[in-house]
Chains A and B, each alone.
Chain A
Amino acid sequence: MTYLHNIGAYFLMIVEMFRKPTKWSVMKQLILKDVDDLIIGSLGIVAFISFFVGGVVTIQTALNIDNPLIPKYLVGFATRQSIILEFAPTFMSIIMAGKVGSFITSSIGTMRVTEQIDALEVMGINSLNYLVFPKFVSMMLYPFVISIAMFLGILGGMAACVYGGFSTLEDYITGIQTDFETFHVTYAFIKTIVFAFVLATIPSFHGFYMKGGALEVGKASTTSFVWTSVVIIILNYFLTQMLLS
């Protein structure tokens, strides 16, 4: 029953988020601040993880291809497919649920605890539009982050492959160009946009409707991470089924 209530409240929150818009001059600043916090602030960790995970995917693939009949360029091919189809959009979104999601829940939750949201509402401001809408708009730049993750993942794979001595640079480049389907990139970006919406709204929901004090802010951040991850995994399954099969 609580789950149903929360699902209903979540959709009502989304409707409310688009109503009674905040003045554009104020909203513009909020969006720029959230772009800085959520997108620019995530680039470092995304670059670091992507590069090294790309390298690991390449090493694992290369080590598992021990049949001499399998061409060496398949290492590059497998790395590209893994990174574009799953690692960059999905795995990175789970990491972002921890990084960006926790930040959103704790910042909105702290505003709830310290009555800052009440202050907005008393002034007659639509607090959901003021707080959540800029995050939603900022997260629409999330595909840009994922593009960087894709590029650096493949680059990390190339570095690991060449410097680890698993295959030549030419083989790796041939691999990443083999049977390239542009729809796979489209599929990855469709997923990314959906996940961006989830990453902006579920943590906001948990922060906005939390009750209690500082301890509950921590609990809300954890719950928000769990639910954001669960929803991303479920949506990933259905989107893959719909778009690829």
Chain B
Amino acid sequence: MIEVNNLHKSFGDVEVLKGISTSFEKGKTNLIIGQSGSGKTVFLKCLLGLFEYEEGAIAYDGKIFSQLSEDEKRNIRAQIGMVFQGSALFDSMTIAENVMFPLQMFTKQSKSEMEDRVDFVLKRVNLPDAHSKMPSEASGGMQKRVAIARAIVNNPKYLFCDEPNSGLDPKTAIVIDNLIQEITDEYQITTVINSHDMNSVMEIGEKIVFLRHGLKAWEGSNKTIFKTDNEVVTDFVYSSNLFKKVRKMYLKEHD
């Protein structure tokens, strides 16, 4: 579980996060949503420790990150898997080497043990024959799946995904969403996804945190988001006619 308390982050005079408090539960897919510029990426990077924040606290399973020693911080980081928006695969390595990388860095496994584990996770993300390809030879969807494989190869306790569906067609996006949800359930990971893809919100948003102007404007789930009266949320979520119709139908059914 990750708990965030009163998080403040500024860049010069611009305050990007203005006191966010929330929590992300274990075994659930937690979504951070909001318009561009609402502070989602900065929030995610603060959670990951890539940005230092001025005020507030982030606790991983009760341990406040900023109060930990360097070794303890490193131990927590070794338990984090991250899927970046652009996949961030190491372009000088093959797909198998990319996936093996965290094992080489953080475990004492033998080469054959590592290869077995890489085979397993590549099969798990439906890429059983991609070992020797370079990232540049893989499609966007494949690169995302490799990034997921690399993120889960070392059995992380926390999985972060920054816009995992960006640049993907709707069908591939659903495959990626389902994969993330299955992995979260299977390994009971605390998953935090940064997204503005409404399909993801509806499909896998077991917990949703809506950010606006650096503040938490709403918190709920994919079940309660249909019923909310919060105008800011409804403006964002139902900005397309399709979703307006879906909402109308949903409310009709549940009235």
Contact = CB atoms under 8 A, between A and B. Distances in A.
Interface of A: 20, 22-23, 25-26, 33, 110, 114-116, 118-119, 121-125
B91 A114 contact: yes
9 contacts: A20-B70, A114-B86, A118-B84, A119-B82, A119-B88, A122-B77, A123-B106, A124-B73, A124-B74
Interface residues of B, number: 25
B86 A115 contact: yes
Given A23-B105, A26-B105, A124-B73, A115 B80 contact: no
B50 interface: yes
A122 B82 contact: yes
Contacts of A125: 105
Contacts of A20: 70, 74
Nearest to A22: B105
A123 B49 CA distance: 10
Contacts of A124: 73-78, 80, 106
Given A26-B104, A119-B84, 17 more contacts: A20-B70, A22-B105, A33-B92, A115-B84, A115-B86, A115-B88, A116-B90, A116-B91, A118-B50, A118-B84, A118-B88, A122-B50, A122-B82, A122-B160, A123-B77, A123-B78, A124-B73
Contacts, number: 53
A125 B78 CA distance: 9
Contact of A25 (B91, B104, B106): B104
Contacts of B140: none
A118 B87 CA distance: 11
Contacts of B85: 115
Interface in B12-67: 48-50
A221 to B, nearest CB: 17
Nearest to A113: B86
A112 to B, nearest CB: 11
B220 interface: no
A125 B80 CA distance: 12
A23 B103 CA distance: 11
Contacts of B77: 122-124
Nearest to A19: B70
A25 B107 CA distance: 12
A109 B254 CA distance: 53
Given A22-B105, A23-B104, A23-B105, A122 B80 contact: yes
B48 A122 contact: yes
Contacts of B92: 33
Top 6 nearest A-B pairs by Cβ distance? A124-B77, A115-B88, A119-B88, A124-B74, A122-B82, A115-B84
Contacts of A33: 92
Contact of B80 (A114, A116, A123): A123
Contacts of A121: 49-50
Contacts of A23: 104-105
Contacts of A22: 105
Contacts of A122: 48-50, 77, 80, 82, 160
A26 B105 CA distance: 7
Contacts of B75: 124
A8 B50 CA distance: 21
Find the residue from A26, A114, A119 having the highest chain B CB count within 10 A.
A119
Nearest to B75: A124
Interface string B223-246: 000000000000000000000000
A213 B89 CA distance: 17
Nearest to A119: B88
A122 B50 CA distance: 7
Contacts of A116: 88-91
Nearest to A118: B50
Given A122-B48, A123-B80, A114 B104 contact: no
Nearest to B84: A115
Nearest to A25: B104
Contacts of A115: 84-86, 88
A172 B125 CA distance: 69
Nearest to A110: B91
A33 to B, nearest CB: 8
A25 B88 CA distance: 23
A70 to B, nearest CB: 55
A198 B210 CA distance: 48
Interface in B77-120: 77-78, 80, 82, 84-86, 88-92, 102, 104-106
A114 B105 CA distance: 21
Contact of A123 (B70, B86, B91, B105): B105
A125 B49 CA distance: 12
A78 B30 CA distance: 74
